[in-house]
Structure 1
Amino acid sequence: MSDRELRPLRSIRITGDGRCLFRSVAYGACLRRGQQLPSDSAQKELADELRAKVADEFIKRRGDTEWFLEGDFESYVRRMRKPHAWGGEPELLMCSHVLRMPITVHMYIKGSDIPRIIAEYGQEYGKENPVRVLYDGYGHYDALQSSPARSVANRRTRYLSFFYFSRTTT
């Protein structure tokens, strides 16, 4: 993706409560599907639901994931189930599998006013219209919106159904 294509990205501030990665991804998944954008309280619910599914995905994919997690696998998964445990690259990878969609991580690089892509996950689910998140380099994630969204009044699908649809449609 060229810098020109990145210019229309707009950062959506996400609450920093230990769930920001999961909140950002959930918000981005709603954007990608054209669903109602979640309020702060709905983001929290969706983030906690996504976190639980990510922990389950680690267990499901243990043979493929255990080697790149820090420390004891069971302890790591148990810690990730806690609502304020910070997520990182392993969780982004599992989010892409849970949602069955690509996730792109952007970051502002020193000397640039345009966020650069620093990581991509879930490319096997396509490369078009990924969920975009912005990493600040210090542990916080915000959502990125690629273009002005349609008005909420035009969205007929409710955000609470997004995990249901993520597993039943491809």
Structure 2
Amino acid sequence: MLPSIDALGDPRCAEDVAKPYESLCVVDASCAFGAKARAPHPIGGLETRFTMETLEAMHARHRKEKKDLQGRIMNKKKNSTKKTRKGVNDECAELERQLAEKQAAELVTLTGGGGEQEQEDNGAADVVQGVSEVMIEAHSQAKPDGPTPQEPQQGQGKKRNRQKERLARRAAEQMALAEAAESEAASMVDHRGIERAAMSGTIKANALAEKEIRPDGHCLFSAVADQLEHCDVALSSAGKRARDAVEGKAPGFKVVRAVAAGWIEDHPDDFAPFLEEDLDSYVTKMRDTAEWGGQIELMALANAYNVQINVVQNGPMEKIRPSGEMESEPAAEIWLAYYRHGYGLGEHYNSLRKSP
């Protein structure tokens, strides 16, 4: 086994290194072209080992060294982690550089150490070519891992293509969802249309005209106020609370709210069983907020104003008459339209005026 290049460079190892070569005939580079062998050189540097090879044999060995080094580099990079990758890349680049320099030095030593004119003439062209090949290959191999200037553009192109593919898939998915929604909508029951169709018959039969009321939480009270005024029933006729609210220039729905809340407060036994909270909290909420009104408030208003409230809806028309102490012939008859599905916010009341 021949000593390594590092051992050859160490003067302390010169004597040990020289022994394997004492019986070998040193062949000059010109031997490849028919020249005679010459005596071995004394051991003392790189020249002794290198001049034992022909130029062709050296090229073959160099190729094998490069191949072996590439195998080592591949193993190093394969076993590297994200944290150690940069250090491994730098180490591999340094190994490639060292090998390139060593092989270049070997070529120069092989062809330039003989001293004979015929050797220099015959080997000059091979030396120049060999050194150039080694340096060019070392330069290309020593480049750090990573994309070339053209590669990012190619990567960006692929990325843009992937983005277009994602957008196309998303558009297709949205189109499929839209088609599914249309299909589902086509098969769904049109509750709003059915409700309006059912109510329109009753409205026309009673010669009524619908007055749109703003859907703001006060719709029931606003619709009742509109009906009372349309039927010439004074908002202040429901007692002291109503008179105080009217004198305070409160809007119509506020007056009606105060009347409904006051009637519920004055008749707790009639309404407390239907409430899910204590009566005082319910009265305060109904009087001072935009809480929706319902059946309880209609019952209170029918009694407070002594009117019959007819509620047109999808189904049998509901009639709410005064009861208890106010049970008598109603002073007036008012009409409301009640929608469960006609408005996006939910339940809603409109006023139904008698056509002129």
Would you say same fold, with TM above 0.5? yes
Partner of 1:130: 333
User: Are the structure 2 counterparts of residues 57 and 34 from structure 1 closer, same or farther at C-alpha, using a change threshold of 3 Å?
Assistant: closer
Of 131, 136, 139, the residue aligned with 2:347 is 139
Q: Structure 1 residue 65: deviation in Å? A: 1.3
- Give the Å deviation of 1:118: 2.8
Partner of 1:70: 276
Give the corresponding residue for 2:317: 117
C-alpha contact (below 8 Å) 2:264/2:300 kept by paired residues: yes
**1:7, distance to aligned residue in structure 2 (A):** 4.0
| Residue 51 of structure 1: how far off its partner (Å) | 0.4
2:336–2:350 contact (8 Å) kept in structure 1: yes
Q: Structure 1 residues 121, 5: closer, same or farther in 2, change over 3 A?
A: farther
Instruction: Mark the CA change 1:34 to 1:90 in structure 2 (over 3 Å): closer, same or farther.
Output: closer
**Which protein has greater RCO, CA pairs closer than 8 Å, 6+ apart?**
1
Shift of 1:102: 1.2
Whole-Å Cα distance in 2 between the matches of residues 128 and 53 of structure 1?
17
Cα deviation, residue 5, structure 1: 7.7
Question: TM-score, structure 2 length as denominator?
Answer: 0.34
User: Mind listing any 5+ residue stretches in structure 1 that lack a counterpart?
Assistant: 36-43, 110-115, 149-170
- Tell me the alpha carbon deviations over residues 66-99 of structure 1, each in whole angstroms, 9 at most, x when there is no partner: 1112322122112111231100000001111221
| 3-state SS, counterpart of residue 307 of structure 2 | coil
For 1:61 and 1:142, the matched residues in 2 are separated by 27
Kept in 2, the 8 Å contact 1:103–1:122? The answer is no
Matched, 1:57 2:263: yes
Give the secondary-structure state (helix, strand or coil) at the position aligned to 2:317: strand
Question: Hey, what does 2:205 align to over in structure 1?
Answer: 6
Residue identity opposite 2:215 in structure 1: G
How high is the TM-score relative to the length of structure 1? Answer: 0.68
AA matched with 1:140: H
**1:84 corresponding residue in structure 2:** 290
**2: CA distance, partners of 1:34 / 1:65:** 25
| Gap change, CA 1:146 and 1:66, over 3 Å in 2 | same
Provide the secondary structure at the position in 1 that maps to 2:263: helix
The residue type paired with residue 298 of structure 2 is: L
Specify which structure has the higher proportion of helix. Answer: 2
1:23 to 222, 238, 241: 222
Q: Which structure carries more strand by proportion?
A: 1
Q: State the one-letter code of the partner of 1:76.
A: Y
CA RMSD, Structure 1 to Structure 2 (Å): 2.6
User: Aligned pair count?
Assistant: 133
- The answer to whether the 8 A contact 1:19-1:83 is kept is no
- In structure 1, distance between residues paired with 2:328 and 2:267: 17
Aligned CA distance change for structure 1 residues 34 and 98 (closer, same or farther; 3 Å): closer
Give the whole-Å Cα distance in 2 for the aligned partners of 1:65 and 1:120. 15
Q: CA deviation at 1:101?
A: 1.2
2:300 alignment partner, one of 90, 94, 102: 94
CA contact (8 A) 2:210 2:350 kept: yes
The whole-number CA distance in structure 2 between the counterparts of 1:61 and 1:34 is 23
Q: 1:95 to 1:147 in 2, by over 3 A?
A: same
Q: Is the 8 A contact 1:102 1:130 kept in 2?
A: yes
Structure 2: stretches of 5+ with no match in the other structure: 1-200, 235-249, 341-345
Shift of residue 140, structure 1, vs aligned partner = 0.6
Report runs of 4+ in structure 1 exceeding 6 Å deviation.
Answer: none
